[in-house]
């Protein structure tokens, strides 16, 4: 699967062949799945398998999600093994997509194939929803979700990529934690545009288009949006308190009971921790000008924001305009999705995830958290009440950094545990 360069951002250059080959490979490697489950194609890149259960569950089916497209590779990056070689070495599988998201996809298929080989039929319907353009915010998963919604099918549980099994996720927290995203932040991409007088660079005016854009970006500091701690963060801290000792246990209990305080502490820590509790602002692209000695008549910047729980696209754009405070800088929305609502943790659906985690990772605690990235599951949360984000694979800090980066890899024993997770989740359905 890794050898097939299913790079959705390079679809025009590479064509559909890698994606078509991927679908054919599923049929080749998982013949029982291909023969005994029904397959629907939604758009050119969406695959929806249905595994009919023993009964019609009034509270809906299980939907397991993954995506088979990957992000591009910078050819100048120093990979230990070529990113599309699919090298197996020293107990690891190396290559682009090993973690995001072909590893999580393959453990779903392995579990289904093994259960079919054992003659098993699930208690309720199980759907496998695989998209081929998640990395480009494509419409494959959206079309699948719309098809189920239009048929009146409301899933009992939706599970997509997201958190992983990690060691010591915060200081003084002991043991393994299976981090399950119960909500995900929204996504907003805006373009800032400014116009000014062009002309020769030898006599610049006091405010050029480029300077206006620079000042606007400078005003969008990390403190642009206030910190707030959603329910999931309090639940996460409460569980971490039970995994800590001494003063750390008391500290986590206090932070769990005081969302205002935990928001301020997380924001002060900065980086990934701060991103849990506030909307982040990241300028990603800058443009303007035609020559080194010519004043640009226009300048622009692309800004990517991850919207915190409790905010919306509308309130976020309004806040941007207030902070920039320059009527000559236009704020143009390129794309935007509101954050998801928080799925509950005191439900049978979340308990099923906890049981499956215990089967695959004995001793690991199942911990709710807020996912900062966007996933295809955002298309389901508009009509499904229980949407969670968890890839049942062990990931170290270095591995998590390799996602969209260099030397992405997954341990084979972790894939085995991931298969065990899904086999337990499907096998224990009521």
Structural domains in the chain, CATH included, are 8-184+341-427 (3.40.630.10), 186-337 (3.30.70.360)
pLDDT band at 169 (very low <50, low <70, confident <90, very high): confident
Per the CB < 8 A criterion, the answer to whether 67 and 376 are in contact is: yes
Residue 204 has pLDDT above 90, yes or no: no
- Summarize the confidence of residues 283-306 as an average pLDDT: 94
Q: Is the pLDDT of residue 200 over 90?
A: no
Is the pLDDT at 202 greater than 90? The verdict is no
Q: Tell me: the pLDDT tens digits for 67-123? A: 999 999 998 999 999 999 999 999 999 999 999 999 999 999 999 999 999 999 999
Strand 176-184 versus strand 365-371 pairing type: parallel
Instruction: Give yes or no for residue 170 having a pLDDT over 90.
Output: no
Q: Is the pLDDT of residue 66 over 90?
A: yes
Tens-place pLDDT, residues 228-277: 999 999 999 999 999 999 999 999 999 999 999 999 999 998 888 899 99
SS3 398: helix
pLDDT in tens, 326-354: 999 999 999 999 999 999 999 999 999 99
351-391: per-residue pLDDT in tens? Answer: 999 999 999 999 999 999 999 988 999 999 889 999 999 99
Q: What is the pLDDT of residue 168?
A: 87
- Quote the CA–CA distance of 78 and 302 in Å, as a whole number: 28
pLDDT at 382: 86
- The answer to whether the CB of 169 falls within 8 A of the CB of 248 is no
- Residue 327: Cβ within 10 Å count: 7
The DSSP element (H or E) to which 84 belongs, if any, is none
> Would you say the pTM of this structure is higher than 0.85?
yes
Q: Name residue 180's beta-bridge partners.
A: 368
User: Whole-angstrom Cα distance, residue 346 to residue 239?
Assistant: 13
pLDDT value of position 196: 86
pLDDT reported for residue 199: 82
User: What's the DSSP call for residue 172?
Assistant: T
């Amino acid at each position: 699967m890794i050898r097939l360069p299913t790079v959705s951002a390079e679809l025009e250059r590479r064509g559909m062949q890698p994606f078509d080959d991927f679908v054919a490979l599923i049929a080749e490697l998982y013949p029982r799945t291909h023969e005994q489950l029904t397959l629907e194609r939604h758009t050119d890149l969406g695959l929806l398998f249905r595994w009919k259960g023993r009964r019609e569950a009034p509270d809906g089916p299980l939907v397991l999600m993954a995506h088979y497209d990957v992000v591009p590779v910078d050819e100048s990056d120093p990979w230990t093994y070529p990113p599309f070689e699919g090298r197996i070495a020293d107990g690891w599988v190396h290559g682009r997509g090993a973690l995001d998201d072909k590893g999580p996809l393959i453990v779903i298929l392995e579990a289904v194939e093994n259960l079919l080989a054992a003659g098993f039929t699930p208690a309720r319907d199980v759907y496998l929803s695989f998209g081929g353009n998640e990395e480009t915010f494509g419409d494959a998963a959206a079309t699948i979700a719309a098809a189920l919604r239009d048929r009146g099918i409301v899933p009992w549980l939706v599970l997509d990529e997201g958190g992983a099994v990690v060691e010591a996720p915060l200081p003084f927290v002991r043991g393994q934690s299976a981090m399950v995203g119960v909500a995900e932040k929204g996504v907003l991409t805006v373009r800032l545009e400014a116009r000014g007088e062009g002309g020769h660079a030898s006599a610049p005016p006091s405010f050029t288009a480029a300077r206006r854009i620079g000042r606007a970006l400078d005003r969008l500091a990390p403190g642009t949006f206030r910190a707030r701690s959603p329910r999931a963060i309090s639940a996460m801290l409460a569980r971490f308190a039970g995994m800590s000792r001494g003063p750390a246990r008391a500290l986590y209990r206090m932070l769990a009971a005081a969302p205002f305080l935990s928001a301020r502490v997380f924001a002060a820590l900065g980086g990934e921790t701060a991103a849990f509790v506030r909307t982040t602002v990241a300028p990603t692209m800058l443009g303007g000008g035609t020559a080194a000695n010519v004043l640009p008549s226009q300048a622009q910047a692309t800004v990517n924001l991850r919207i915190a729980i409790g905010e919306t696209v509308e309130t976020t754009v309004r806040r941007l305009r207030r902070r920039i405070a320059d009527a000559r800088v236009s704020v143009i929305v390129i794309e935007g999705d509101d954050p998801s609502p928080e799925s509950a943790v005191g439900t049978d659906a979340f308990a099923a995830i906890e049981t499956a985690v215990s089967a695959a990772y004995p001793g690991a605690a199942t911990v709710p958290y807020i996912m900062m990235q966007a996933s295809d599951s955002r298309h389901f949360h508009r009509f499904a009440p229980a949407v969670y984000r968890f890839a049942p694979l062990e990931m170290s800090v270095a591995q998590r950094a390799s996602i969209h980066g260099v030397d992405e890899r997954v341990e084979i024993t972790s894939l085995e545990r991931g298969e065990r997770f899904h086999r337990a989740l499907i096998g224990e359905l009521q």
